[in-house]
Amino acid sequence: MAKILCVLYDDPVNGYPTSYARDAVPEIKVYEDGQRAPTPKAIDFVPGHLLGSVTGGLGLRKFLEDQGHTFVVTSDKDGPDSVFEQELPDADIVISQPFWPAYLTPARFEKAKKLKLALTAGIGSDHVDLESAIKHGVTVAEVTGSNSISVAEHAVMMILALVRNYLPAHEWVEKGGWNIADCVERSYDLEGMHVGTVAAGRIGLAVLRRLKPFQTHLHYYQRHRLPEAVEKELGLTFHPTVEDMAEVCDIITINAPLHPGTLNMFNDAMLAKMKRGAYIVNTARAEICSRDGIVRNLQNGHLAGYAGDVWFPQPAPKDHPWRTMPYQGMTPHMSGTSLSAQVRYAAGTREILESWFEKRPLREEYVIVDGGKLAGTGAKAYTV
């Protein structure tokens, strides 16, 4: 029997919900790229209920305990005295979500002598040291595709919110004002602007598709060029380097995984190449951007705005400068964990566990590391 150690974010401050704003969420069976949504044999949760917090337990408790496995769920994940670190040495499987990541560092891999599977309930396994996973023969898997559209919608929302100056305008309403000039002195239309995505994988391409009806000029930079038919359909301009794209865009949306090839990509030198008054929306990973470079460029007016939901570390400390820098529309890491997304990644986590316990191969698209090397989606999207 296995011990499954699961790290999830805390329940709401007022307790686990007893009712919800809506009675149902739409069921998505096939994703935009044709991939099938998760197909576990069964689920033990109500779609639309909160699954990603400690009490929700990703809807896995009954499934795991009925088979005699031990299921430990905690939000206490950081530091040597944390529940996570105490429970790690005899855990066979670790599950965590990128929103509240259990950082699996090289030192923790050394302690996790029994670990066989590191499972990301969501997308993005950079909180797992992939080199250590390769070295220790640990399989890394994630629920590819499960929240891509959730994130794409958030990115589009943030682009519009920044360009149109939505958040400061809303604040005037709450303050009791009617200050039209204050609201519009930084408000523009998206129409006609040049928008570029760093990476056009599942999320990046979905952002481009959603922006097309806004009559924008669309650009992309990524490792593998898209099929010509897709470039034509969306009117895309491909850029062979990110610098080349940064120079011509009014808005950059970042949708690449974090790995050595993207770490600190938007450093001072790259930010200096961007147009004055450009915006950045980063819902990928914080460390793709220089933390202090972003602050400096907002303060000196080179950037007109920055938004996103990804930070380092997570949770972000109270004094993280991105909480207080000007012209920002940050949220906590939430775009990929809407109640709609939770249905899919909880089902996908269960599907992966079913395959694992029955010794069936995981779907190739879920695999990041296997057999001591990058594999599946991992081989396409990551480097070590």
Q: Where are the beta strands (DSSP E) in 124-222?
A: 139-142, 194-198, 217-221
Residue with Cβ nearer ligand NAD (53 or 335): 335
Q: Which residues bind ligand NAD (CB under 6 A)?
A: 122-124, 147-148, 151, 198-199, 201-204, 221-224, 255-258, 261-262, 283-285, 309-310, 333, 335-336, 377, 381
Q: Where are the beta strands (DSSP E) in 143-268?
A: 194-198, 217-221, 236-238, 251-254
Verify whether residue 219 is a known catalytic residue. no
Which of 222, 314, 328, 342 is labelled catalytic? 314
Residue with Cβ nearer ligand NAD (2 or 256): 256
Scan for tokens 């034509």, then name that residue.
232
Residue with Cβ nearer ligand NAD (96 or 262): 262
Which of 61, 136, 147, 165 is labelled catalytic? 147
DSSP secondary-structure letter at 36? Answer: B
Rounded to an integer, what distance in angstroms lies between the CA atom of residue 234 and that of residue 216?
Answer: 10
Verify whether residue 239 is a known catalytic residue. no
Q: Cβ of residue 379: shortest distance to ligand NAD, in angstroms?
A: 10
Rounded to an integer, what distance in angstroms lies between the CA atom of residue 248 and that of residue 231?
Answer: 18
Q: Where are the beta strands (DSSP E) in the chain?
A: 3-7, 70-74, 93-96, 117-120, 139-142, 194-198, 217-221, 236-238, 251-254, 278-282, 303-308, 367-370, 373-374
Do 197 and 219 form a contact (C-beta atoms < 8 A)? yes
Residue with Cβ nearer ligand NAD (83 or 334): 334
Residue with Cβ nearer ligand NAD (91 or 119): 119
Q: Which two tokens stand for residue 294?
A: 């972003």
Scan for tokens 């206490």, then name that residue.
76
Alpha helices (H) along 274-338: 291-299
Q: Which residues, 6+ apart, have CB-to-CB distance to 97 below 8 Å?
A: 7, 8, 9, 52, 120, 121, 122, 337, 345
Q: What angle do CA 89, 1, 67 make, to 5 degrees?
A: 130
Q: Cβ of residue 55: shortest distance to ligand NAD, in angstroms?
A: 21
Residue with Cβ nearer ligand NAD (310 or 353): 310
Which of 108, 127, 136, 333 is labelled catalytic? 333
Q: Cβ of residue 339: shortest distance to ligand NAD, in angstroms?
A: 14
Residue 268 backbone phi and psi in degrees, to 5 = -55, -40
Residue with Cβ nearer ligand NAD (117 or 368): 368
Q: Cβ of residue 250: shortest distance to ligand NAD, in angstroms?
A: 20
Verify whether residue 147 is a known catalytic residue. yes
Q: Which two tokens stand for residue 125?
A: 């396994």
Q: Cβ of residue 154: shortest distance to ligand NAD, in angstroms?
A: 7
Rounded to an integer, what distance in angstroms lies between the CA atom of residue 280 and that of residue 298?
Answer: 10
Residue with Cβ nearer ligand NAD (10 or 65): 10
Which of 69, 108, 285, 363 is labelled catalytic? 285
Q: Cβ of residue 122: shortest distance to ligand NAD, in angstroms?
A: 6
Q: What angle do CA 186, 288, 216 make, to 5 degrees?
A: 45
Q: Cβ of residue 23: shortest distance to ligand NAD, in angstroms?
A: 25
The closest residue (CB) to ligand NAD is 201
Q: Cβ of residue 329: shortest distance to ligand NAD, in angstroms?
A: 14
For the beta sheet containing 373-374, the strands, ordered from the edge strand earlier in sequence to the opposite edge, are 70-74, 3-7, 93-96, 117-120, 139-142, 367-370, 373-374
% helix, strand, coil for the chain, step of 5: 35, 15, 45
Verify whether residue 333 is a known catalytic residue. yes
Catalytic residues: 147, 285, 314, 333
